[in-house]
Amino acid sequence: VNSTTAMAATLDIRLKRINKTYTDGDTISGYAVIRCKQDCGHNGLTLNLTGTVSMQLSSKNVGVFEAFYNSIKPIQLTGATLELAKPGKFTTGLTEIPFEIPFKSKGNKTLYETYHGVFINIQYVLQLDLKRSLLNKDLSKTCEFLVEYNPKNAGQPSSQTPITFAISPDSVVNVQNKASLPKFRVTGQLTSSHISISEPLSGELVIEQCATRIKSVELQLVRVETCGCLEGYAKETTEIQNIQVADGDAPRGIKIPLHMVLPRLFTCPSVSATNFRIEFEVNIVVVFQDDYLVSENIPIRVSRF
């Protein structure tokens, strides 16, 4: 009986803004949609808005620092509750209840941009809850919306100076025997080390010389997630995406363009907060024919401007 009556009603959240993207100070408006196959009694309908930063430790850090467990509790950035319907009855068919909910930070907290990482998540959710009698299961429906900084308030970057790199046997670290490396030199530049999240990362590289065949040249985007507190930090580096910019034994002396669009959700403006940091790096990777690889690491700062 319970499952039949539970299936007799379904909930949905429809936002008026198609891209579901908001900024601090906006009003989120939409409709709570209730579909009933038969008249449906209830004990009230509420809409909850939450914004949280949630953190977790990788398995290698679990148990290392007791203090971690307090510092990685979820951080509440915002919250609000609206009562959409008092206890009563929804009639058979479709009911749409319009809502408007102000979107603003809690106290002096920053509404960081939406971000889905490996060890850090910044997420904003609307949840519709329909309370029902003891015999019937409560119903709920969630809808994630995206948050971006307002670029008008972000300001322009301090400098857009190109950042140059040169990879050679001398520049390579973590190698036991540098004499075993082939003679090679790869140079290039990124347009800037401070980039806008809405613009592609761009630059170029030149393989000036290489005494062995090259298998591949790759551009790798990496996230560096740090959780913790003064007693200790856990820092994790994971790959976001990898783009091959040259396949096979790339010609020498020719400019190879570098171009990468930053993926939404998996990147956000760089953040440095009390208990967490989200930073980004780029690796220029050269893979030789025998699968031996060398790379150059370039920290970048991401903003919205």
Q: How far apart are CA 135 and CA 2, in angstroms?
A: 6
Do 138 and 168 fall into the same domain? Answer: no
1 assigned to some structural domain: no
Q: Which two tokens stand for residue 233?
A: 């930090």
- Please identify, among 111, 130, 152, the residue that sits at the C-terminal boundary of a domain: 152
Number of domains, the chain: 2
On whether residue 182 sits in a domain, the answer given is yes
> 79-98 pLDDT, tens per residue?
999 999 999 999 999 999 99
What burial class does residue 89 get, using C-beta atoms within 10 Å of its C-beta: 0-12 exposed, 13-18 middle, 19+ buried? exposed
Report the SS3 class of residue 69.
Answer: helix
Q: How many CB atoms lie within 10 A of CB 260?
A: 19
Burial class (CB in 10 A: 0-12, 13-18, 19+), 21: middle
Using pLDDT thresholds of 50, 70 and 90, give the confidence band for residue 275.
confident
For residue 4, the model assigns a pLDDT of 44
Is 297 within a domain? yes
Higher pLDDT pick, 24 / 59 = 24
Residues 112 and 143 grouped into a single domain: yes
Share of the chain above pLDDT 90, in %: 68
Q: How far apart are CA 117 and CA 224, in angstroms?
A: 10
Q: Which residues of 154-180 are buried (b: 16+ CB within 10 A; e: fewer)?
A: eeeeeeeeebebebbeeeeeeeeeeee
- 177 with 143, same domain: the answer is no
Burial 270-285 (b: 16+ CB within 10 A, else e): bbeeebbbbbbebbbb
User: 88 in helix, strand or coil?
Assistant: strand
- Structural domain ending residue among the three candidates 152, 173, 196: 152
CA distance 165 to 162: 10
How many C-beta atoms lie closer than 10 Å to residue 200's C-beta? 12
Q: Which two tokens stand for residue 285?
A: 């990777």
Q: What are phi and psi of 226, to 5 degrees?
A: -120, 125
Residue 243 located in a structural domain: yes
Lowest mean per-residue pLDDT among 219-233, 237-251, 286-300: 219-233
Least confident of 42-46, 68-72, 177-181: 68-72
Residue 2 lies in a domain: no
What is the overall mean pLDDT for the chain? 88
In which domain, by residue range, is 127 found?
9-152
- Residues 44-49 have a mean pLDDT of 96
Q: Produce one character per residue of 43-68: b if its CB has 16 or more CB atoms within 10 Å, e if not.
A: eebbbbbbbbbebbbeeebeeebeeb
Going from the C-alpha of 103 to that of each of 74, 122, 250, the distances in angstroms are: 19, 15, 51
Q: Please compute the mean of the pLDDT values over residues 179-206 and round it to a whole number.
A: 92
- pLDDT tens string 147-184: 999 876 555 655 678 999 999 988 887 766 667 788 99
Question: Are residue 134 and residue 239 in the same domain, yes or no?
Answer: no
Predicted confidence (pLDDT) at residue 233 exceeds the cutoff of 90: no
The four Cα atoms 12, 14, 19, 24 give a dihedral, to 10 degrees, of: -100
Does residue 245 form part of some domain?
A: yes
Share of residues in the chain with pLDDT > 70 (%): 88
CATH number of 148's domain: 2.60.40.640
pTM of the predicted model over 0.85:
yes
pLDDT at 5 over 70: no
Q: In Å, how far are 120, 169, 267, 286 from 222, measured between CA atoms? A: 14, 23, 10, 16
- Establish if 131 belongs to a structural domain: yes
pLDDT at 59 over 80: no
Work out the average pLDDT over 118-129.
96
- 58 pLDDT more than 80: no
- Tell me the per-residue pLDDT of 234-244, one tens digit each, with 9 for 90 and over: 889 999 999 99
The answer to whether position 104 is within a domain reads: yes
pLDDT of res. 161: 85
